[in-house]
Amino acid sequence: MRTLALLRAALPLVVLAASVLMASPAHAEVGRVSVHSGTAEFGPGAALQQFTVACAAEEQLVSGGYAGGDPQLRVVASHPSDGQGTPIADGAAPRAWTVGVVNTGQAVRTLRVFATCLTGGDSTAGVYAGTQSDPADTTVEAACPQGTVRTGGGYWAVWYARLGAARIDGSHPTGGRGWAVDLTVAANLPARSSVTALVVCHTGPVAAVAAEPAEFDLLQASPVCVVGAAANVCVVPQSGSGAARCPDGTALTGGGYLIVSGGPLTGQAAVVDGPASAGGWTVRVTGTTAQDTRVRVRVEQVCLGSVVRPSEPVSDLLPDSGARLNKALALGGGLLGLLLLILLAILALRRSGRRSGPPAPGIEVVVRTARFRYRDDAYREDL
């Protein structure tokens, strides 16, 4: 009876511990970041030229970029595409990253294009767009829908062979789910000139991770002067680079840049804007200023982490004490129940040994007695 009572007390505790362990938080997989790249040559000319790098069939695009450019190789588009170089939006899944350039020089220039992709993860990608609504706008933004996570972004500008396109002054994350493109529209461009911002959004068990951006100052070179009819015109060439990284245990999926002070830059060109360094998002900017002005640039990275979600809610033993205390109590009770079961097993083994074991060796002593009597005339003992 005592053993049965202990068993009834232990079993509920063990069942409770098992239910808590089965409801323990499960870590979703972010996936492994793979960076694909290709190098293209672009001849001189006023026509827009494109180059596209695609993700593998089983991968999801998160962002892309470029490196190794030249100030004479003007980048007018850097965006997610359908694999054929066509920009996509409205939640469609991107398959590649495309960069569009115009070679304003006289020699062939090369450019390296990157596509950053996720493999083995549990999320899916979609692209959303924001278009310049007024030619006077200096910033265009696109935003991810509620419930999705931003992983990267880019842009594309309408190019006119004789007139050019709006100048891109920055392309960077903004807010919690947005992407912003800073621009300058020349006065000679038609009113229908436009710039489109594109943001890559992922749906699934992933979360954005905050990270500290990096900033750098452009280095100034000696002024370059041109003799004019009335006076000399001088400009100060400036250039510089920097990289931003993600915290340990997170994935670098994208990044961008913006000028935070000292602008504007004339003839500005971001000759590098992509995952050009191992584990970091690298930006290199060149341009000129009319005066000896310090220009500061910020590099903003996009980092991704996994979401921890319990498969089932933990039993609310103490409603006002929180899930951690509830889980601790449940596990403690389960361990106590397990110890009781072990004790019951030991007792059962001992009792079984006593009942079925062979008799212990020893010496058997048998004592026999007999009656005896006394007589007055003699003594007699019967054995």
DSSP 374: B
Q: Taking the model in full, what pTM does it have? A: 0.74
9 and 49 belong to one structural domain: no
pLDDT of residue 106: 93
pLDDT digits (tens, 9 = 90+) for 227-285: 776 677 889 999 999 999 999 989 999 999 999 999 888 888 899 999 987 789 999 99
Q: What are phi and psi of 24, to 5 degrees?
A: -65, 150
Here the contacts of 45-49 (C-beta below 8 Å, separation 24 or greater) are 45/102, 45/103, 46/102, 46/161, 46/162, 47/102, 47/161, 48/76, 48/77, 48/100, 48/101, 48/102, 48/159, 49/100, 49/101, 49/102, 49/103
263 and 342 belong to one structural domain: no
Q: What is the mean pLDDT of residues 188-204?
A: 87
The tokens for 378 are: 């003699």
Burial pattern 6-42, b for ≥16 Cβ within 10 A else e, equals eeeebeebbebbeebeebeeeebebbebebbbeebeb
284 and 197 belong to one structural domain: yes
The tokens for 132 are: 């310049």
pLDDT digits (tens, 9 = 90+) for 112-169: 999 999 998 889 999 999 998 787 889 999 999 999 999 999 999 999 888 889 899 9
122 and 215 belong to one structural domain: yes
Give the range among 215-219, 267-271, 316-320 with minimum mean pLDDT. 316-320
Rounded Cα gap, residues 193 and 101, in angstroms: 17
pLDDT digits (tens, 9 = 90+) for 328-366: 555 665 566 667 667 766 776 676 655 555 554 544 544
Rounded Cα gap, residues 236 and 218, in angstroms: 11
82 and 221 belong to one structural domain: yes
> What is the number of structural domains in the chain?
2
14 and 139 belong to one structural domain: no
Q: Tell me: pLDDT of 204 over 70.
A: yes
Here the contacts of 223-226 (C-beta below 8 Å, separation 24 or greater) are 223/292, 224/288
Q: Tell me: pLDDT of 68 over 50.
A: yes
| Domain span holding position 195 | 26-310
pLDDT of residue 86: 95
59 and 113 belong to one structural domain: yes
CATH number for the domain that contains residue 31:
2.60.120.690
Percent of the chain with pLDDT over 70: 72
